[in-house]
Amino acid sequence: MAVRESFHSQLDLVKQQLLEMGERIEEVLHDMMQAFTSSDMHAMEHIISHDYEINQLELGMHNQVTLLISRQQPVATDLRKLIVALKISSDLERVADLVVDIAKQSKRIKQNSLLTFQVKILGMFTIAEEMIHQSLQAFKNTDILLAQKIAMMDDKVDSLYGELIRELFKLDDAYIEVDQVTQLAFIGRYIERIADYATNIAEWVVYEVNGKHFDLN
């Protein structure tokens, strides 16, 4: 009995550490959105140079979960919880990578270039940031209903991304700098991918509860 209690305490610790990793991702997302808004190059460089910290969090989670599986050989619900922890930590690390990609592209954006489109990108970013927050809340509270609602938010980001691309490439080449259009298109794509990863996390919440993987997209 003591062994099982110890194992479940370790399961709880894994979940708590994963939520802390999620909080770190939310901070990075918020910082990136602020940096994009203000064209803060120093903040962008900080995000890029500190990405290794999140990589280490993901590696630590992977090692911890792998060790628990090998030592405890869990089955059923307990095994699903550990698999979900691995998958979500991987998705969060990829979100962090995408934020770094956004930072790198944003460094090339001129502050007053195509402002209307920069505002559209911020609109996408706001929804994607909220999706990450809601997906982590769904994981924290094992809330399937909340997880399912995230798919609707993803549809909105997809729609905004489609509008952004169509409008960007309708611009007259004589009016704009092609380089600026390209950077904004890349940033829009990275944000759209962040929304996809938020949906992935929501899907893992559903899997943890019922053992079946549903495509919420």
Specify if 217 maps to a domain.
no
pTM over 0.85: yes
Number of separate domains in the chain: 1
Residue 2 or residue 151, greater confidence: 151
Kindly report the average pLDDT of the chain as a whole number.
Answer: 91
CATH number at residue 175: 1.20.58.220
pLDDT at 73: 83
131-165 pLDDT tens trace: 999 999 999 999 999 999 998 899 999 999 999 99
* Range scoring the smallest mean pLDDT among 2-6, 108-112, 142-146, 184-188: 2-6
Backbone φ, ψ for residue 176 (5° rounding): -125, 170
pLDDT at 110: 83
Specify if 216 maps to a domain.
no
Q: By the 8 A CB rule, do 39 and 111 touch?
A: yes
Q: By the 8 A CB rule, do 191 and 101 touch?
A: no
